[in-house]
Chain A
Amino acid sequence: MAANLPTQSQVQGGIGVTEPHTEHDEHLHHDEHHDQHWLFKYVFSQDHKVIAKQFLITGIFWAIIGGTLSSLFRLQLGWPESTFEWLSPFLGKWIEAGKLNPEFYLALVTMHGTIMVFFVLTAGLSGTFSNFLIPLQVGARDMASGFMNMLSYWFFFLSSIIMFTSLFIETGPASAGWTIYPPLSALPQAIPGSGMGMTLWLVAMALFIVSQLLGGVNYITTVINLRTRGMSMSKLPLTIWAFFLTAILGLLSFPVLFSAALLLIFDRSFGTSFFLSDIYIAGQALNHQGGSPILFQHLFWFLGHPEVYIVIMPAMGMVSEILATNARKPIFGYRAMIGSLLGISLLSFVVWAHHMFVTGMNPFLGSVFMFLTLIIAVPSAVKTFNWLATLWRGNIRFTTAMLFSIGFVSLFISGGLTGIILGNAAIDIQMHNTYFVVAHFHLVMGSSAFFGLFAGVYHWFPKMFGRMLDEKLGYIHFWLTFIGVYLVFMPMHYVGIAGFPRRYYAWTGFDSFSQFADLNKFISAAAILAFFGQFIFVFNFFYSIFRGRRATENPWNSTTLEWTTPVVPGHGNWPGEIPAVYRWPYDYSKPGAAEDFIPQNVPYSQTQSSNLPYERDMEE
């Protein structure tokens, strides 16, 4: 057996280790597929890596749209008195006599939220990296079902087309807020966006949920069944743990949103009264009776709250991986990190009603949810402390991915801490639906998830496209974005403490709220600048796909399995047999080792100088 093993130096050089494989590998000749028609290679591909790139590029498209929408409404908020005639070539009838139409303003915030939460930070983030990394890091040829995985993207694509179309229809897109609370979302008499726009929203979201479920089933099955030899659950990189638990959350919670959407469709189109009761609108008393708008909120947030963890957990996983790699240090408290992910996943299902403290829900229920909500701060704190401990006494390389990971930790702390305020029912009476909430979640789930996304793209770009992103542009991108995000969202807290309500077209009508005009200008300017800064990334991304510096197999000297594949892995990932795994993924800077990292596929028998006492038994 020993004769076949590569030498120490080969392993450390990052050359793919091919172990003698005893079991028959049915995918061994996967490279044959490479002569398939381009349509099936690049478009209707079943290769998880191609699907990941499709999700990523669609996500980037959506992020630009979502960012543009936010720039538009920030213009309105920053300069409520000025004329926007110059926008009328783009917005047409939505500019009325030089003013932004207030209903279109609501459509802008609604679509910004929908797009960012679902299409960018769920599909674009988890869709990209779960697809790309799960097979590569667990040592699988592909997802459990390549076909379902392909369907997952195309359902998302269809959903995207419908949602995008809804931006251009006569009555405008959905305008009832991204939480689409009925009755506003149910009655076209209440707001024009609740007509055709809302119908398209619901159809698009139903297809989106189908996409999520097809993807999620695949992720879970792949992690459970297709791990390579030796890859026990306790040797999985934290990325995989995060993706795995994210998929479980999605699988359990998205169907509930589906049911809410379905019932809302029934109320809207077929005269049922699930969410509607006692309504007199537009000069007419409606026949709906006995429904409850609060029921919808329970259903919505039963998904809606796990959803924020669906958004943030993949980012947490990737950040853990990138921090360890670039600090050249094992992630501190690997098991505590898994434990806290499990804790967050479990608790995320029982905190949803903290969005509803002041909806008229029974106050006792409020007490229970306050208790559960504040408990979830504990695993989040543990994660943060572990990240900090990982940096301590490391040997840090500031790659762009590392910078974004450090930025992630900072934003997660800043945004997470204010969650302790909002989770407290008594204080939430004042803070609910103010800009304090907006600042809180934009930091803790919006910006930090974006930072996780950027970190992931900068880190795994070499494996995706075989080329490197430009680091200098990356640095500029990072610092602009990091400073920009804080300039936008820190002042927003002040505005929130003063009680400014969110989703207001203008605050000038209220004496209490009109005092922060300058601050709002400042926030708007910072937001628009930070948004334009993102085009540096877009440029870098597309430029580097074609012209970037060529990557090596393992440019970051990382330990996980994806770096044992060729520079650009083909369909099937490993040209030969799949490497077996012997050790955990964080053997960085191990005392006695020749290099400062030992890949997972290096057996203990080759690293006798660095083995710890309990590892000596595993040398054979």
Chain B
Amino acid sequence: MIALGILLVLVLLLVVFGLLFRIQILTSIFSGSSTREIGTSNRVNAILMIAFMVIGGAAFAYSFMDNYGKMNPPIASVHGHEMERLFWTTMIIIGIVFVLTHIALFVYSYKYQYKEGRRAYFFPHNNKIEIIWTVIPAIVMAGLVFAGWKEWTKITGPAPKDSVVLEVMGKQFNWLVRYPGRDQKLGVVNYRLIDATNEFGFDLSDKSGLDDFVAGEIHVPKGHPVLLKIRSRDVLHAVYMPHFRVQMYAVPGMPTKFWFTPTKTTDEMRAQLGNPKFNYELACNQICGRGHFAMKLNIIVDEPDDYVAWFSQQKSFSEQNPDVLASFKQKSDKLGETENAPAAAAVVTSAAKASL
């Protein structure tokens, strides 16, 4: 019923509009304004062009300034600063071009509006001008490409050998995090072993996986390179950490990676922003289904000491899930009892320290 009512109102509005329009046309025919070929409307449109430029430009400038503060997520990584500089340098260059070309567009439109008896200037081509405005953009582009390429190679280059390694795995619809434990080696996983408990698909017959632990949040130390190993176990996801200027797809069947160096702890950022509830956030940035918009994970940047303390408190997956471990033991006799003993906290601490 409501649908019908809304449709009826729309139809009535259309009819009223049509009648008004018809009346307007008839009056314009009687008044004779419909026969003039180029009338006042040409002048009105020319003036509107200038008005649009002035008012629109002012509104744009104002709203840009007004929102500038909110626009930039505060930067918390080393390469983020470089990237930011590149971004705003490019913005300034294109901003200049934007303003100049628009002034030309609207001012020419106004200035060269139709005038009775004037004839346009027959100016079909000029090769010198064409060459100038081909070469200048080409040079500017070359500069931007070079700057971008330098930065891109630095960011995507190999991670430093002493990086803190951790794995982020996307699934519908949350993120799972795994740390390599004291041996600094991520254990073998197999997607066929995944179940409700073993969400990573740990293959615990691989010894390097025994000390791996999973975490509910990402913890990383400040001032130390962090290498994210990124995987997905179902559809595409993307690890997007706007404050660190980090983004990389999580692809099922193809591990990816991204490394960065955090520069501010969560506490420092909270103090800087005056927001005690601030958290660095990891968002999914590749459409992945119903819960895509809620695939969030908090990232905590610690002082190195706090990080080591946190690291040493974590219990390994095998320790927390003895059933899973036992099922692998049944399958493989090679796993000796003594080797599997969960690492003592002290050992973990030293390993973590060694990793820093």
Contact of A86 (CB < 8 Å), options: B1, B2, B192, B235:
B2
For B41, list chain A residues within 8 Å (CB): 398, 471-472, 475
Give A495-513 as 1s and 0s: 1 = Cβ < 8 Å from B's Cβ atoms.
0011101011111011111
Indicate if the CB atoms of A285 and B101 lie closer than 8 Å.
no
Q: Is the CB of B253 within 8 A of A292?
A: yes
> How many of A's residues come within 8 Å of B, CB to CB?
122
A64 interface contact, C-beta 8 A = no
State the Cβ distance, B308 to closest chain A Cβ, in Å. 27
Stretch of A159-167, A260-268, A413-421, A451-459 lying at the B interface: A413-421
B56 contact set on A, CB distance < 8 A = 483, 486
Residues of B within 8 A of A290 (CB): 253
A358 partner, pick from B64, B123, B249, B296, beta carbons under 8 A: B249
Whether B234 and A366, one on each chain, are in contact in the complex, defined by CB atoms closer than 8 angstroms, is no
Does B49 interact with chain A (Cβ within 8 Å)? yes
Whether a CB of chain A sits under 8 angstroms from the CB of B3 is: yes
Checking A106, A285, A391, A503 against B105 with a beta-carbon cut-off of 8 angstroms, the contacting residue is A391
Contacting residues, chain A, for B155 (C-beta < 8 A):
426, 429
Contact indicator A395/B138 (Cβ below 8 Å) = no
Write out the residue numbers on chain A whose beta carbons fall within 8 Å of the beta carbon of B25. 470
Q: Which residues of B contact A316 (CB under 8 A)?
A: none
A106 and chain B: residue at smallest CB distance: B287
Residues of chain A contacted by B247 (CB below 8 angstroms): 358, 429-430, 432-433
In the complex, A252 has a CB within 8 A of chain B:
no
- Per a CB cutoff under 8 Å, which of B234, B252, B277 touches A511? B277
- Determine whether B303 belongs to the interface, using a CB cutoff of 8 Å to chain A: no
For residue B125, CB closer than 8 A to chain A, the reply is yes
Write out the residue numbers on chain A whose beta carbons fall within 8 Å of the beta carbon of B14.
539
Interface code B128-159, partner A: CB below 8 Å = 1, 0 otherwise?
A: 01100110011001001100110111011100
| A612 to B157 alpha-carbon distance, docked (Å) | 60
Take A191-B290, A370-B145, A429-B247 as given contacts and tell me if A385 and B133 are in contact as well, using a CB distance cutoff of 8 Å: yes
Sample 16 A-B pairs with CB under 8 A, ordered by A number.
Answer: A103-B290, A106-B290, A283-B196, A294-B251, A329-B120, A333-B126, A359-B249, A370-B152, A382-B133, A396-B109, A397-B42, A420-B94, A421-B90, A433-B240, A475-B41, A507-B293
- Which residues 154-180 in B have Cβ within 8 Å of A in the complex? 155-157, 171-172
CB distance from B248 to the nearest CB of A (A): 5
Q: Given the complex, which residues of B lie within 8 Å of A382, measured CB to CB?
A: 130, 133-134, 137
Chain B hits for A505, CB < 8 A: 292-293
**CB < 8 Å neighbour of A277 from B137, B192, B253:** B253
Chain A positions 269-320 with a Cβ under 8 Å from a chain B Cβ: 276-281, 283, 285, 289-294
Known contacts being A293-B254, A382-B133, A475-B41, is A360 close to B249, with CB within 8 Å? Answer: yes
Residues on A with C-beta less than 8 A from B253 are: 276-279, 289-293
Contact with B along A328-364 (1 / 0, CB 8 A): 1111111110000000000000000000001110010
| Interface hit among B70-78, B210-218, B310-318, B336-344 | B70-78
Known A290-B253, A393-B112, A395-B115; further 4 A-B contacts with Cβ < 8 A: A289-B253, A327-B112, A413-B102, A424-B145
Which residues 264-291 of B sit at the A interface, judged by CB distance below 8 A? 277-279, 281, 283-291
Closest to A429 in B: B247
- Bound-state CA distance A374–B143 (Å) is 10
Question: Given the complex, which residues of A lie within 8 Å of B97, measured CB to CB?
Answer: 413, 417
Alpha-carbon distance between A386 and B141 when the two chains are bound, in angstroms: 19
Residue of A nearest to B248 (CB): A358
Residues of A within 8 A of B248 (CB): 358, 360
Docked complex Cα distance between A406 and B101 (Å) = 12
Within 8 Å of chain A (Cβ to Cβ): is B38? yes
> Contact between B125 and A398 (Cβ–Cβ < 8 Å)?
no
In Å, the complex CA distance between A332 and B129 comes to: 10
Indicate if A410 sits at the interface (CB-CB under 8 A): yes
Of B17, B123, B294, which contacts A539 at CB under 8 A? B17
Q: Of A86, A184, A434, which contacts B236 at CB under 8 A?
A: A184
Per the bound structure, the CA–CA distance linking A134 and B293 in Å amounts to 46
Q: Is B125 within 8 A of A333, CB to CB? A: yes
Within residues 47 to 77 of chain B, which ones have a CB less than 8 A from any CB in chain A?
Answer: 48-49, 52, 56, 60, 63-64, 67, 70-73
| A410 CA / B252 CA spacing, docked (Å) | 42
Are the CB atoms of A371 and B149 closer together than 8 Å? yes
Say whether A158 faces chain B, with CB atoms less than 8 Å apart: no
Indicate whether B21 reaches chain A with its CB closer than 8 angstroms: yes
Asked whether B23 is an interface residue with its Cβ less than 8 Å from the other chain, the reply is no
Q: Which of B45, B64, B238 contacts A475 (CB 8 A)?
A: B45
Residues of B within 8 A of A403 (CB): 45
* A358 contact set on B, CB distance < 8 A: 238, 247-249
| A28 close to B (CB within 8 Å) | no
Cα A479 to Cα B46 in complex, Å, equals 12
When distances are taken between beta carbons in the complex, the residues of chain B under 8 Å from A499 are 73, 240, 242
Residues of A within 8 A of B71 (CB): 494, 497-498
B335 within 8 A of A: no
Q: Determine whether A65 belongs to the interface, using a CB cutoff of 8 Å to chain B.
A: no
Question: Nearest chain B CB to A448's CB is how many angstroms away?
Answer: 13
With A377-B141, A472-B41, A498-B71 known as contacts, the answer to whether A370 contacts B148 (CB < 8 A) is yes
Contacts of B108 in A (CB 8 A): 388, 391-392, 394
Residues of A with C-beta under 8 A to B86: 424, 426-427
Other-chain residue from B102, B104, B144, B236 in contact with A293 (beta carbon distance below 8 A): B236
